[in-house]
Each structure stands twice: as C-alpha cells, then as structure tokens.
C-alpha cells in the first residue's frame, strides 16, 4: 500500500488527547522537507570529506560569514533555546545577561586577541594547542574532560527536546530521540565538519524564520514593549524588567545574583572560558579560509548573538504577560500535570501559529536541537581522534585510518549521547548539575590557555598543575556546598545567592586558583626556550600583518561597532 509509510509516520506525529497541539499534514510536510534537505546535504558533501583535514576541519575553506553563523548556531541548542526562554519566564530580563555580557565581550576577545594564535599555530583542536604549549599532560586532561562533557551535554539536550515534544505535541519520547539522532549521525558521519557547518547555517536561518513570529505577534498581543513592561511590573514587580539596576544585592532580584558575579564570574571567567576554549564553538572558527575570516567569524557571530534574546528571552517575558495560566518548575509540573517553564517557547508557538507556521516553528526547535548535537558530536569525534586516539593510542596510523575513526566516532558519540538521554530520563537531578559541571572544566581551562598565550614564562608543569588544581577546586567547592548548604555564604559570598550565582563564583575561584598555581609553579620550574614558543605566545614573534583595502574592512572596526552597540543596549535596558 502506497499510503502505509505515511500512516505509520503520522501515527507518531499525531497528537494524543492530552497533548497541547495537533500537527496536520502541512506541518508534517514542513518537518519532512527539512529532514530530507539535511540528509541530502550530508550525502552531497560525502565526496568532500576524504582526508582528515577535510573531515575534521572542513578543509579550512569556510568564509567568515559561514564560520560566524555556524559558530553561533552550534551554541544554539535546544537547552539554549527552550531553557533560556524558560529562564526568562522564571527570572525576567536578567536571563539576557547570558547572551550579552555573558557572550559578546568574550566573542570579541576571541576574534581580536586569541584567534591569531589558534590560527597561525595550525592546531586542529584546543587540546592540540595545549599539547604544543604545555605537552601531553595538559592535553590529556583537557581532551578527556571535554569528551566527557560533550557527550553528556549532547544527551541532556536530546532528552530536554524530546520531553518538550512529548508534552506539547504528544510525540513518543523514543521516536524523537532516535529519529533526530540518527539524522545527525548520518549527515555528520558522511560529510564531516563541512556537512555539520552547512547544516548549522541552514538551521540558524530556520531557527530565526520559525521563532521570529512569536515576539512579533506577542508584542502586538501585549500592546507593545512599554505596555508589556507595565503588565509584568504590575504582576510581578519591576525587578523582572531591569538588567542591572537590581543587582546591587543578592536578595533584590529574582535570580539571587550580584553584579560582581555577573562581571567577574560570568563575563570574565565562564563566558571567556566557553567562547574561547570550548572546542565545540572554536572548531567552527578554525575552519575559516584565512586569518582575516577567522578573526571576523566571532565578530559576525557576536552581532547575531546579540539579537538572539529577541527570539528567546522576549517570548519568555511575553508569556508572563499574555499566557492565561501560570507555568511551574519541572518537578512540580510532573507532579501536578501543569506546564513547566521549559515549555514556554512551544506554548507561545502554539498560541500564535496555525497550520504551516506551527510546523515551521517546531522545525525551528528541532533545528536548534540538531545544530547543538551536530556541534557536540563533530567536536567529540575530532578531539577523540586527534587528541586521545591519535595522540596516545595509535600515533602512526594513516590519514585514511583517522578519517574512518572519525566517522565511527561520530556514530559512537551519538550512541553515547542517546544512552545519556535515557540515563537523564531516570535520573532527572543530573539536569540540575549541568551548569555546575560546565564550570568544573571550562573556567580553569581558560586560565591555562590565556596564561599560555599571553605569558611566555608559563611552563609545562605550571600549565598542568594549574589546570588540575583549578578543576579540583571547582569540584571541591561544589561538593562542599552540596553536603553543607550553609557553605554557600563563603563560596557565593551570600547566603541569599541562588544556584546560578553559586556557579559564577565557583568558576571565579577555580579560575583564580588555576592562575595562581600556574604562576607559582612556573616560577619554580624551567621555562621552554623562546624558540619553541613561536606562533604560540604573544610577543614572541610578530603576528602576520593583514592588508585590508579599506578601514571598514578591519576586524577591529567591526568589533568596536559591536562593542558600542552592546554598551548602548545595556544602558537602554539598565
């Protein structure tokens, strides 16, 4: 029977009685076309992924625009989209800090200061840079922790998307997990990083296309921004619509944070750590076709990142004003059958979008998930192949062997992610620790990389022991507060601090410990000869001069314009 496959397919999509929305044939067609195109791209690019340079680094042929959009898109996973929309509902406009001060300065810093060192050293990964600068110890520590975090994050992203699709659309949890992960494994396994990047650009555009209608229609519904602020202020208090003015004390804002935590913990450590040393995003920039593109890519990414709150944070704020019911936390939602914060974005889509547009919105959410997962598995396969397998287990294999290993790793990385998703399903508390886990590894790693790049006196032993001490400090502080909650007043400087504030200060302390230990051990040990640091450390060798035809082509000019806009936006929403 010709119709049988469609019927079987649609039984998974067809919403049961308890789901909030029903997808019709038009919506299913929109979703199916998306899947067909991403798989086609994977097959089309299979012939362009034959060498390790092509498979893992996309042949280093990406333009600044493609690398820049892919750089932002790989970060825009389902946790990022649905999680931060939920946080905006829960904490108000303060959630925007993770998109502005928690991203823009770090992205500009990467483009202007750090990118030249990554690019001219021709490393294939961040652990690869650590290998050149500090040797095998720091590389192994960083590669193993990154591989662990990557598949864990990928699985958590997968589970959170499948859960929302189940609650809102009634989709089978197993169906969501397997269909989306097999698709990602197929197109990344076939076309490597180039396929992941091409699809990430497409997914980024789709996310905007599908999600942009919600804030536009939502603002019309709420009577404009001024009315929205008044409604939220009247219902919950003005602290929900101010970025900075309520951060003078932990107890004066719904997030329980202080501006020192935002500036030093979030902007200086967590954000710089993530955007400049997390290989998931840095890999996209390393694929650029020249140094100028590599420097412009994070700057282009910063411009788009600054706009993302419009489709993520604003829907959460609008929901506070226009939804006729109240959303609750995940555990309460499970117990009472109410909707949780994490479902706010799909709920707003359902509110404003009819057939066709709803399919487009759901495709945007799926695209967000897939771009995040593709980023995770392609970075995982690169780090495993170059920095664990190729560095320690099989150093003398052929290039073809490493490409085959990369393809297998893509599938294995997806399988481990699926396993993690099922693990999270049975141990939901893991979700609560994600942000914490993140700060264990990223914050000290930033200390190690930045000292290695800017200070030629840093030694191999200093880098390794600094990284180990910083990571141990983060884990130790986490366990201290976990087993003795009263320790919060020491770790986060206030007993009123909440989880996100604790994460910021823990990251700050672990970074400081990493920096201090690295400096002390470096002074006590013998440094590398300067001749071995060429292209790795600031001031050792002049950086290549870029010849731009016009002043407006210089990366520093664009970075300056983004920085000015960033300051203006923070003042407007102060």
Partner 1 sequence: MREEISIWFFAGVLFLIYGVIITSQGLWELSHPLVNPPVLYYLHAPIWWGAMMTVAGLSYTIRFWPRRIR
- Of 16 and 354, nearer to partner 1 (C-beta) is 354
Long-range CB contact pairs, 475-481, < 8 A, 24+: 475/440, 477/506, 477/509, 477/510, 478/436, 478/440, 478/506
- Of 47 and 544, nearer to partner 1 (C-beta) is 47
Measure the CA–CA gap between 504 and 85, rounded to whole angstroms: 20
- Of 59 and 444, nearer to partner 1 (C-beta) is 59
CB of 22 to partner 1, least distance (A): 9
Site for partner 1 in 157-176 (CB under 8 A): none
Residue from 26, 179, 397, 404 binding partner 1 (CB under 8 A): 26
- Of 205 and 493, nearer to partner 1 (C-beta) is 205
- With CB under 8 A, what is the number of residues at the site for partner 1? 30
Question: 288 pairs with which residues across the strands?
Answer: 62
Confirm or reject binding of residue 497 to partner 1 (CB under 8 A): no
Measure the CA–CA gap between 129 and 117, rounded to whole angstroms: 9
CB atoms within 10 A of CB 386: 24
Confirm or reject binding of residue 201 to partner 1 (CB under 8 A): yes
Measure the CA–CA gap between 354 and 286, rounded to whole angstroms: 41
Confirm or reject binding of residue 355 to partner 1 (CB under 8 A): yes
Confirm or reject binding of residue 421 to partner 1 (CB under 8 A): no
- Of 45 and 383, nearer to partner 1 (C-beta) is 45
Confirm or reject binding of residue 30 to partner 1 (CB under 8 A): yes
Residue from 107, 151, 190, 213 binding partner 1 (CB under 8 A): 213
Binding flags for partner 1, 40-59, as an x/- string (CB under 8 A)? -x--x---x-----------
CB of 356 to partner 1, least distance (A): 4
CB of 198 to partner 1, least distance (A): 5
- Of 298 and 361, nearer to partner 1 (C-beta) is 361
- Of 22 and 554, nearer to partner 1 (C-beta) is 22
Buried b (16+ CB within 10 A) or exposed e, 470-496: bbbbbbebbebbeeeeebbeebbbbeb
> Which SS3 state, helix, strand or coil, does residue 437 take?
helix
CB of 183 to partner 1, least distance (A): 15
> Which SS3 state, helix, strand or coil, does residue 238 take?
helix
**Beta-carbon contacts of residue 368 (< 8 Å; ≥ 6 apart):** 76, 77, 78, 80, 81, 82, 161, 203, 207
Measure the CA–CA gap between 370 and 238, rounded to whole angstroms: 36
Residue from 220, 307, 495, 530 binding partner 1 (CB under 8 A): 220
Side-chain-side CA neighbours of 235 within 13 Å: the count stands at: 19
**Beta-carbon contacts of residue 417 (< 8 Å; ≥ 6 apart):** 151, 154, 155, 158, 181, 373, 376, 377
Residue from 15, 32, 173, 209 binding partner 1 (CB under 8 A): 209
Confirm or reject binding of residue 198 to partner 1 (CB under 8 A): yes
Binding range to partner 1, per CB under 8 A, among 107-115, 311-319, 355-363, 380-388: 355-363
Residue from 14, 15, 32, 37 binding partner 1 (CB under 8 A): 37
Could you tell me the sign of the dihedral formed by the alpha carbons of 317, 319, 324, 326, in that order?
A: negative
Instruction: Write out the residues near partner 1 by the rule CB under 8 A.
Output: 26, 29-30, 33-34, 37, 41, 44, 48, 66, 198, 201-202, 205-206, 209, 213, 217, 220-221, 322, 350-357, 360
């Amino acid at each position: 029977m010709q119709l049988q496959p469609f019927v079987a397919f649609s039984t998974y999509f067809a919403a049961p009685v308890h789901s909030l929305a029903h997808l019709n044939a038009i919506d299913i067609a929109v979703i199916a076309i998306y899947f067909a195109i991403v798989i086609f791209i994977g097959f089309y690019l299979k012939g362009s992924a034959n060498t390790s340079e092509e498979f893992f680094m996309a042949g280093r042929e990406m333009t600044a625009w493609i690398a820049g959009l892919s750089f932002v898109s790989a970060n825009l996973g389902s946790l990022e989209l649905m999680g931060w929309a939920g946080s905006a509902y829960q904490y108000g406009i303060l959630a925007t800090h993770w998109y502005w001060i928690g991203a823009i300065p770090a992205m500009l810093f990467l483009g202007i200061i750090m990118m030249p060192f990554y690019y001219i050293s021709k490393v294939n990964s961040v652990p690869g840079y650590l290998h050149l600068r500090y040797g095998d110890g720091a590389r192994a520590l960083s590669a193993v922790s990154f591989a662990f975090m990557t598949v864990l994050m990928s699985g958590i992203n997968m589970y959170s998307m499948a859960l929302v699709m189940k609650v809102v659309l009634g989709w089978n949890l197993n169906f969501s997990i397997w269909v989306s992960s097999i698709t990602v494994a197929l197109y990344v396994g076939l076309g490597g990083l180039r396929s992941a990047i091409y699809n990430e650009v497409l997914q980024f555009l789709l996310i905007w296309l599908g999600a942009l209608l919600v804030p536009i229609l939502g603002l019309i519904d709420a009577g404009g921004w001024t009315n929205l602020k008044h409604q939220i202020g009247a219902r919950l208090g003005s602290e929900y619509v101010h970025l900075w003015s309520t951060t003078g004390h932990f107890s004066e804002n719904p997030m329980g944070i202080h501006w020192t935590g935002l500036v030093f913990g979030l902007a200086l450590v967590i954000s710089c750590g993530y955007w400049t040393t997390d290989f998931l995003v840095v890999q996209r920039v390393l694929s650029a076709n020249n140094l100028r593109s590599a420097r412009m890519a994070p700057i282009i990414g910063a411009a788009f990142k600054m706009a993302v709150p419009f489709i993520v944070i604003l829907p959460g704020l609008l929901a506070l004003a226009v939804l006729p019911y109240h959303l609750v936390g995940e555990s309460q939602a499970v117990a009472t059958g109410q909707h949780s914060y994490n479902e706010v974005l799909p709920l707003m889509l359902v509110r404003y979008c009819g057939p066709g547009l709803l399919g487009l919105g759901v495709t945007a959410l799926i695209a967000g998930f897939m771009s995040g997962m593709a980023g995770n598995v392609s970075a995982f396969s690169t780090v495993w192949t170059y920095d664990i397998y190729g560095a320690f287990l099989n150093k003398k294999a052929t290039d073809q062997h490493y490409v085959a290993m990369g393809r297998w790793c893509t599938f294995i990385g997806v399988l481990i992610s699926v396993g993690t998703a099922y693990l999270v399903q049975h141990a939901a508390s893991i979700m609560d620790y994600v942000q914490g886990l993140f700060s264990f590894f990223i914050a000290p790693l930033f200390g190690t990389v930045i000292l290695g790049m800017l200070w030629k006196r840093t030694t191999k032993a200093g880098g390794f022991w600094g990284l180990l001490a910083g990571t141990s400090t983060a884990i130790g502080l986490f366990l201290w507060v976990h087993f003795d909650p009263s320790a919060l007043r020491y770790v986060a400087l206030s007993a009123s601090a909440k989880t996100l504030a604790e994460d910021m200060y823990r990251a700050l302390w672990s970074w400081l410990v990493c920096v201090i230990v690295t400096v002390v051990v470096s002074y006590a040990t013998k440094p590398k000869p300067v001749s071995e640091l060429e292209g790795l450390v600031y001031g050792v060798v002049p950086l290549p001069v870029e010849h731009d035809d016009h002043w407006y082509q210089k990366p520093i000019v664009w970075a300056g314009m983004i920085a000015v806009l960033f300051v203006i936006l923070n003042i407007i929403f102060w």
